């Protein structure tokens, strides 16, 4: 069942000027899909945009209790696992759709990269590095990094050791995929010249896969490549931010939820499941950086 394009979903934005600007930039490119409501909103709205800082899971639950059909969280930061579980339970019970707009794991280049295969023997190392603007603590950002690694390489991160400084960290562990467990190296650093950037590399005996993603706020395509004995293949670029991709996915979810409502189908909660997976894996890092 397709949505009537003449009636876009109404949107209320709950957050500071930075969030207002980010959401406004995206919605201006989707005028037939969403209609942003300005000022104080009293009437019921279809979608609420929530800032990912602080207790975003609780804010999303409150929005669902108020009757919204969909919630989108912009760049979620680490929260307690029970909060994520409560949100998933609430969304499922009230048939609400939840999407997480993630600059790295949500980049539209991640899915085709995860499906690309390099022929070159077994994996020797999985390596990921993130760069952050000055003043941003790299420890909490490790959740977004692990989220990217797990989504892009379809595995589970297991942290074994980590070293932390005020503005950087290095962690080692394993990336588990089925019966295979491969060496993993994660690193992160913040500095004034940096912008948000992340990279993932999988090194094989005779090949490699690599993905580099920018700040997620401009439609600069991520760079993804696959190399083996036959040479290096650059994957087709996708000129869309992870944030815009999340808004488009939310609209598709809302369409599908409405179409399946009569049949009793459950709304998709894949973003929450993936983020919870990353949040669980990142607990050793979060516990150390909180000390």
**How confident is the model over 45-100, as pLDDT tens digits?**
999 999 998 899 999 999 999 999 999 999 999 999 999 999 999 999 998 999 99
Report the pLDDT value the prediction gives residue 121, as an integer from 0 to 100: 77
132-152 burial, b at 16+ Cβ within 10 Å, e below that, comes to beeebbbbbbbbbbbbbbbbb
Q: Does the CA dihedral 250-255-259-261 come out positive or negative?
A: positive
Strands 47-51 and 9-14: parallel
pLDDT above 80: residue 163: yes
Q: Characterise 197 by phi-psi region: left (phi > 0), alpha (psi -120 to 50), beta (else).
A: beta
CA angle 100, 188, 169 (to 5 degrees): 120
pLDDT above 60: residue 263: no
HSE-CB for 136 with a 13 A CA cutoff: 21
Work out the mean pLDDT of the chain and round it to a whole number.
88
Report the pLDDT value the prediction gives residue 206, as an integer from 0 to 100: 87
Closest CA to 145 of 99, 104, 84: 104
**Residue % of the chain over a pLDDT of 90:** 65
For domain 9-103+241-268, the CATH superfamily is NAD(P)-binding Rossmann-like Domain (3.40.50.720)
CB 155 within 8 A of CB 184: no
pLDDT above 80: residue 106: yes
Average pLDDT in the 137-155 region?
Answer: 92
Q: What count of residues does the chain have?
A: 291
pLDDT above 90: residue 37: no
Question: For the residues of 229-277, what is the DSSP string, one character each?
Answer: TTEEEEPPP----HHHHHHHHHHHHHHHHHHHGGGTPPPP-HHHHHHHH
List, for residues 215-252, the tens digit of each pLDDT value: 877 778 899 999 988 889 999 999 999 999 999 999 99
Report the pLDDT value the prediction gives residue 2, as an integer from 0 to 100: 44
Q: Angle formed by the axes of helices 81-93 and 270-281, to 10°?
A: 170
**pLDDT tier at 39 (50, 70, 90 boundaries)?**
low
Report the pLDDT value the prediction gives residue 3, as an integer from 0 to 100: 47
Report the pLDDT value the prediction gives residue 230, as an integer from 0 to 100: 82
Domain range summary for the chain, segments of one domain joined by +: 9-103+241-268, 110-239
Report the pLDDT value the prediction gives residue 265, as an integer from 0 to 100: 58
CA 241 to chain centre: 11
**Residue written as tokens 């990094």?**
145
Q: Two tokens at 199?
A: 């990279």
Q: Which residues contact 210 (CB under 8 A, 6 or more apart)?
A: 199, 200, 201, 202, 223, 224, 225, 227
Rounded Cα distance between 171 and 261, Å, is 45
Phi first, then psi, for residue 223 (nearest 5°) are -110, 115
Beta-ladder partners of 203 = 125, 208
**pLDDT tier at 35 (50, 70, 90 boundaries)?**
very high
CATH for the stretch 110-239: 3.30.360.10
Report the pLDDT value the prediction gives residue 108, as an integer from 0 to 100: 94
Measure Cα distances from 223 to 72, 153, 243, 274 in Å: 26, 16, 17, 23
Q: What is the pTM of this model?
A: 0.90
Report the pLDDT value the prediction gives residue 16, as an integer from 0 to 100: 87
pLDDT above 60: residue 1: no
Report the pLDDT value the prediction gives residue 188, as an integer from 0 to 100: 92
């Amino acid at each position: 069942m397709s949505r009537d394009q003449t009636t876009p979903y109404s949107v209320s934005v709950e957050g500071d000027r930075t969030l207002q600007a980010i959401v406004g930039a995206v919605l201006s490119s989707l005028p037939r899909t969403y209609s942003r409501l300005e000022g104080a909103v009293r009437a019921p709205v279809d979608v609420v945009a929530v800032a990912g800082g602080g207790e975003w899971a609780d804010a999303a639950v409150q929005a669902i209790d108020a009757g919204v059909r969909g919630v989108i969280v912009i760049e979620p930061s680490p929260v307690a696992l029970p909060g994520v579980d409560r949100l998933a339970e609430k969304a499922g019970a009230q048939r609400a759709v939840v999407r997480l707009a993630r600059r790295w794991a949500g980049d539209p280049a991640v899915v085709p990269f995860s499906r690309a295969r390099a022929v070159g023997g077994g994996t020797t190392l999985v390596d990921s590095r993130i760069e952050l603007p000055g003043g941003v603590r790299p420890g909490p950002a490790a959740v977004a990094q692990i989220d990217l690694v797990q989504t892009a390489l379809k595995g589970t991160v297991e942290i074994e050791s980590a070293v932390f400084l005020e503005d950087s960290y290095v962690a080692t562990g394993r990336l588990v995929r089925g019966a295979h467990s491969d060496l993993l190296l994660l690193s992160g650093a913040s500095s004034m010249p940096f912008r948000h950037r992340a990279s993932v590399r999988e090194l094989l005996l005779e090949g490699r896969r690599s993905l580099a993603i920018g700040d997620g706020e401009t439609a600069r395509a991520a760079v993804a490549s696959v190399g083996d004995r036959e040479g290096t293949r650059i994957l087709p670029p996708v000129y869309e931010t992870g944030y815009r991709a999340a808004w488009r996915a939310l609209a598709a979810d809302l369409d599908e939820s409405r179409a399946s409502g009569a049949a009793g189908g459950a709304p998709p909660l894949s973003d929450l499941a993936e983020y919870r997976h990353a949040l669980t894996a990142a607990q050793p890092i979060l516990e150390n950086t909180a000390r």
